[in-house]
Structures are given as C-alpha cells and as structure tokens.
C-alpha cells in the first residue's frame, strides 16, 4: 500500500505507539463492514483490530489530504468535546480549517450566507454526531 516508499512502511516504532494508544482495541459488537479489519476476538469479547490494515488506511487518508493544493480547503470538523482538541491540533499542524464546536447548517451549501465556505475535502471525526456537514 505504501507504493514502495520506505518512509510510509509500517515499522516497529509505529506499532508500539498504536498499541500504547490502544488503537488495536475495538468494540464487542462488529459491523459486517468492519469484519475485514478484525484480527481476532479476545476472551472477554473485545475485537482486536488488524494494525497493518489500519496503517494502510492511514496512509491512504494522508495521501488524500496531501493531494489538496491549498491546505485551507481541507475542513476538519468535530462537535464533540473529546474531538475538538484533536481538530485544533490537526489544523495547526497541517494548515487545515478547523470547525470545533457547533456547525452552522448551510455553511457549505447556502451561498447567500456570510459564512459560506466551499471545502475540497471534509474530515469528520464522528459521522453519527456530525451528520449535518456531511
């Protein structure tokens, strides 16, 4: 998936960081669309996520973000308190436009509105909560 670039290859340090952040732990219930990403199920019922497939999707997402010429055209949204800090940090490091907190309906579609914006790429932390911008 990394296209032969050694920099994008999964290494031991990356795996250690993902394990420390418990990226590999899923829920007890698994959607049929997530079954391909499950490595195995623990005795307590928690599903363990395949970190190699997680890394492949991270590289794919990073390539999508980098493909946008103007980083300000990438909008990162989270209305939940636990995601707002992550949105602000991501935007500070990448130059993306953060929307932390309440999203104003029509900001992407109503051209008459003063706050009208037209993103090239939209990154949403919680699609269930932030369904309005989608």
pLDDT tens column, 73-103? 999 999 888 889 999 999 999 999 999 888 8
Instruction: Give the list of residues 6+ apart from residue 116 with CB closer than 8 angstroms, or none.
Output: 107, 108, 110
Q: Is the pTM of this model over 0.95?
A: no
Q: Tabulate helix, strand, coil % of the chain (nearest 5).
A: 35, 15, 50
What digits encode the pLDDT tens for the residues 15-70? 898 889 888 888 888 888 888 889 999 999 999 999 899 899 989 999 999 999 99
Provide the residue ranges of all domains of the chain, joining segments of one domain with +: 1-67, 68-134
Contact between 24 and 10 (Cβ < 8 Å): no
Contact between 26 and 77 (Cβ < 8 Å): no
Give the phi and the psi of residue 32 in degrees, each rounded to 5. Answer: -60, -25
Q: Which residues pair with 74 in a beta bridge?
A: 121
């Amino acid at each position: 998936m990394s296209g032969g670039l050694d920099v994008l290859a999964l290494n031991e340090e990356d795996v250690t960081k993902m394990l420390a952040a418990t990226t590999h732990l899923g829920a007890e219930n698994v959607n049929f669309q997530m079954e391909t990403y499950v490595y195995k199920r623990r005795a307590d019922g928690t599903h363990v996520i395949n970190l190699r497939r997680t890394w492949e999707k991270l590289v794919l997402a990073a390539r999508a973000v980098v493909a946008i010429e103007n980083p300000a055209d990438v909008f990162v949204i989270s209305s939940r308190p636990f995601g707002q800090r992550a949105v602000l940090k991501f935007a500070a490091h990448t130059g993306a436009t953060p929307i932390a907190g309440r999203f104003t309906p029509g900001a992407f579609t109503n051209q008459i509105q003063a706050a009208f914006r037209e993103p090239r790429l939209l990154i949403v932390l919680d699609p269930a909560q932030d369904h309005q911008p989608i």
